[in-house]
Amino acid sequence: MLISLGEYAKMKNKDASCARKKAKKGDFKTAKKIGNQWVIESNEEWIDRRRKELKK
């Protein structure tokens, strides 16, 4: 089911602006823009692509 990106971010306990940035970069498989509104499948997984450096 398609939901707004804001609802998706709230459901995942994330900031809506971060979700919009990820959508603009193409980090979501199912996110698409309809008019001026971003929508996404409600079951899309939030993948954290930040790199963690290994401590030596």
Residue 3: count of CB within 10 angstroms of its CB: 15
pLDDT score of 42:
95
Residue 32: count of CB within 10 angstroms of its CB: 13
pLDDT at 53 over 80: no
- Rounded mean pLDDT, 16-32: 96
pLDDT at 54 over 80: no
pLDDT score of 52:
76
Residue 6 CB-density burial (10 A; 0-12 exposed, 13-18 middle, 19+ buried) = middle
pLDDT score of 50:
81
pLDDT score of 34:
96
